[in-house]
Structure 1
Amino acid sequence: MWGGYTKVCSVRISALTILQLPNTKPEAIAKLLNIKEIYYEKAILDYDRGQQILAQHSDARLIEVPSHWNIPELHGNSESAEDWNRIKRTVLVLGVKKSLQCRPNCRSSDFVSPSHANGCAMACVYCYTARRKGYANPITTFVNIERVIAYLTRHAAKQGMKLEPNQVDPKDWVYEIGENSDCSVDAAICDNVKDLITTFRTLPNAKATFATKRVNRDLLAYDPQGKTRIRYSLMPHKMAQVVDVRTSSIAERIGAVNDFVEAGYEVHLNFAPVIYSEDWLANYTELFEQIDDTLSEKAKAQLQCEVIFLTHNEELHEVNLVWNPQAEEILWQPKLQEDKLSQTGGNNVRYARGFKGKLVKPFCDLLQEKLPYCNIRYAF
């Protein structure tokens, strides 16, 4: 194991905790997650949520670690790239969120909330969160959700009412709650997402938002009352089959929009990442027509979108070559790309500025032609 610091042990779970377990996972989520190992900080045992999750996976092998962030056999082990999908399916990390802060944003939200989780059970080959943790990035769930919620409640209260509309929202301060994870999948682990949606329902000046590639219909029962905005990430089916690994199909995501609107969510679209190929505009034409044919008038009336062209990373490229080289033939195109320093200081690549300019305009023109009711919040 890890230099004597990792301990495999058993944990006593009370009968009361077992009675408080979340509902059984939907079949589609159950296929995505089959937890066999749980790495956990000892402090999670002091929280009801930590006890609940351990009881939910009572057959899992428990491995105590000093820190959820630094687990070398997961995050620093280059050999684990070959087990990329197995690790995402079978490993869970539990920790306590220590640092709480809201970071200002200006695109899909006004603020980025403190994380209730990071990592993901899905395996999109372009995912930026995998770059931060190295060779494996399973879900890490934070069990002290009450502290996160208390912080958000105080932060929203300090903002007062939003007096001037902006491109994020005309009325509410919008908080991104899923920057480092996919909330639709996180909701299958525990009730953190449900608790957040319930909280924002009570805040007079704020709403939550998150992007997702997974349809989890359990969320239909959360009663958001217009205070949570889901952004379904979409791309042409042909491309998604290669790069959106272990996600819901594009047809399933589009097909869920009407139901989530009826359930009280705002539902917007996130065309991200837009990936160039020789037939890319023809493929997007089919996608836009599919959206138009599927969405109800009620869904169309509230629809907005954001457009984000591909950003990639050399280190992630090297990892992907081990487990999904086919995708890298599409994503890694040095003749079309240039270096880009990310907001967090990482060295990434994007489509070269002159070339990208020739992509953004025809994409937006096509979108406005096919979906004239869909406001483009931003495109870059």
Structure 2
Amino acid sequence: MALTRDLLDIQRIYHEPAVGDFPHGRTILARFPDAERIAVPSHWNIPELHGNAGSVEDWVRIKRSTLVLGVKKGLTLRPNGRSAHFIAPSTSNGCAMACAYCYVPRRKGFANPISLFVNTEAAGAAIARHARKQGPLPEPDLIDPEHWVYDIGENGDLSVDAALTDGVRDLVALFRDLPNAKASFATKAVNRDLLGYDPRGKTRIRFSLMPERIARVVDVRTAPIPERIAAIDDFVEAGYEVHANFSPVILYEGWEADWRDLFRQIEAGISARAKAQLRCEVIMLTHNAGLHAVNLGWHPKAEGLLWRPDIQEAKVSEGGGVNVRYRAGWKGRWLARFKALLAETLPDCTVRYAF
């Protein structure tokens, strides 16, 4: 994936002092010899980024031009039970893309560029130790019929990270050799360099998909939906398990027709082999008042779709944050309608979970 000026043109690198002690840190710094380097005590606490309200107006410029490098301190794994059995230690946080509904900047404040952690080896070792303790998967479940699944990209997009660091290749190689475990990550980018990683069925890529006309508004700086669909066959041929991530499902006048069209595009656009292994997850939109306020500073058009107090209600998340979601009674009906449309139009695609 070429580092085009449209997506990444790194001019400034904030970095913790220890970054240069790690091979991945040295390699990343060497890729951008002309970038300004600013040492910071913590990748998480950079006042001119995360605490600067004026940064909102430069939301996209900062994502293109700024990179943060740090050393991951916490290497714990936690249970998930939805998209994966476990959430692995993050090797990145934030993204070069700018999806208007992304939950990561709800915590980071007014700027959300890519933060890469350069101690990928430590994260990989923690995953390997954890997998060894698990032993075999006791029985097939909706997450996977055979392996424990670890989400390795909860807080970033590894397809883009792979254009900056070889750490993603290392993680794919790690799972290739773990007999009882499989990696998983969602992506809105198409990085064809990953086709050469030789995953041997042990990495699941979940291409996030939604109707194209809505993606053009809310999926800012991402690969076009037709490009993501067109990549599915190639990634299956390269040895990946490829699933669909129908997320977020945004409700508006005409949403059903748009999703039916998308399902038809997938049905017509991928091979029988890809359909035979295709599964999906369905995630209804969750939004947040703080992110709503940030978005109004750089992309108010998106909020016309995302911020719908007439059909939304407050909800306390598992992490304790107060978000808004579609009203409970109606959400169940809309979700049932969505699943019926999927079964009617793309019958080979089994729903692994939906909420």
TM-score (norm 2): 0.99
Amino acid at match of 2:230: G
Give 1:35 deviation, angstroms.
0.4
Aligned to 1:332: 307
Please tell me whether the aligned partners of residues 228 and 266 of structure 1 are also in contact (alpha carbons under 8 angstroms).
yes
SS state of the match for residue 31, structure 1? coil
The alpha carbon displacement at 1:32 in A equals 0.7
Counterpart for residue 244 of structure 1: 219
Give the whole-Å Cα distance in 2 for the aligned partners of 1:146 and 1:274.
36
What residue in structure 2 maps to residue 22 of structure 1?
none
1:178 to 147, 150, 153: 153
Counterpart of 2:136 in structure 1: which amino acid? M
**Unaligned segments of structure 2, at least 5 residues:** none
Whole-angstrom CA distance in 1 between matches of 2:257 and 2:121: 47
Please identify the structure whose Cα radius of gyration is greater.
Answer: 1
Pairing 1:119-268 to 2, within 5 Å after superposition: 119-268=94-243
Is contact 1:339-1:350 (8 Å) kept? yes
- Identical aligned residues as a percent: 61
Following superposition, the deviation at residue 361 of structure 1 comes to 0.9
Match runs of 1:30-45 below 5 Å: 31-45=6-20
Give, in angstroms, the shift of residue 164 of structure 1: 1.2
Distance in 1 of aligned mates of 2:42 and 2:246: 35
Distance in 1, matches of 2:333 and 2:142, equals: 24
Distance, in Å, in 2 between the alignment partners of 1:340 and 1:193 is 34
1:293-304 to 2 correspondences below 5 Å? 293-304=268-279
Number of aligned residue pairs? 355
Summarize deviations over 1:251-275 as a string: whole Å, max 9, x none: 0000000000000000000000000
Which residue number in structure 1 is paired with residue 67 of structure 2?
Answer: 92
**Secondary structure at the residue paired with 1:271?**
strand
Distance in 1 between residues matched to 2:325 and 2:280, nearest whole Å: 21
Contact 1:119–1:130 under 8 Å retained in 2 = yes
Q: Look up the match of 2:258.
A: 283
Select the residue among 46, 50, 55 that pairs with 1:75: 50
Matched to 2:2, the amino acid is: P
For the Cα contact (< 8 Å) 1:174–1:207, is it kept in 2? yes
Name structure 1 gaps, 5 residues minimum.
Answer: 1-24
* CA-to-aligned-CA distance 1:118-174 (integer Å, 9 cap, x gap): 110000000000111001111111111111111111110000011211110011000
Q: 1:54 aligns with which of 4, 29, 47?
A: 29
Which residue of 2 is the match for residue 322 of structure 1?
Answer: 297
What is residue 344 of structure 1 aligned with on the other side?
A: 319
1:30 CA drift (Å): 5.2
Q: Distance in 1 between matches of 2:23 and 2:215?
A: 38
Return the alpha-carbon distance in structure 1 between the equivalents of residues 6 and 101 of structure 2: 22
Could you say which residue in structure 2 is the equivalent of 1:7?
none
- Aligned AA (1:37): R
Distance in structure 1 (CA, Å) of the matches to 2:349 and 2:133: 33
> Of residues 246, 249, 268 in structure 2, which corresponds to 1:271?
246
Distance 1:288 1:248 in 2: 18
Backbone CA RMSD of aligned residues = 0.8
Q: What's the offset of the Cα at 1:188?
A: 0.6
* Cα separation, 1, equivalents of 2:216 and 2:122: 39
Question: Distance between the aligned counterparts of 2:164 and 2:139, measured in 1?
Answer: 38
Amino acid at match of 2:130: H
Distance (whole Å) between structure 2 residues aligned to residue 128 and residue 193 of structure 1: 22
Aligned residue for 1:320, secondary structure, equals helix
For residue 43 of structure 1, what is the amino acid of its counterpart? A
Q: In the TM superposition, what is the alpha-carbon distance from 1:68 to its structure 2 partner?
A: 0.5
Q: Is the 8 A contact 1:112 1:179 kept in 2?
A: yes
Contact 1:26 1:218 in 2 (8 A): no
Amino acid at match of 2:131: A
Alpha-carbon distance in 2 for matches of 1:147, 1:360 = 40
Amino acid at match of 1:299: A
Q: Answer whether contact 2:9 2:65 (CA < 8 A) is retained.
A: yes
Contact 2:76 / 2:88 at 8 angstroms: preserved in 1? yes
Q: CA deviation at 1:99?
A: 1.0
SS at match of 2:247: strand
The answer as to whether partners of 2:150 and 2:182 remain within 8 angstroms in 1 is: yes
Q: For residues 99 and 371 of structure 1, what CA distance do their matches in structure 2 show?
A: 41
1:208–1:228 contact (8 Å) kept in structure 2: yes
Aligned-residue offset at 1:358: 2.1
Q: Secondary structure at the match of 2:283?
A: strand
> Does residue 2 of structure 2 align to residue 26 of structure 1?
yes
Counterpart code for 1:117: S
Whether contact under 8 Å (1:269, 1:306) holds in the other structure is yes
Displacement after TM superposition at 1:41 (Å): 0.4
1:69 Cα deviation from its structure 2 partner: 0.7
d(CA) in 2 for partners of 1:158 and 1:357?
A: 38
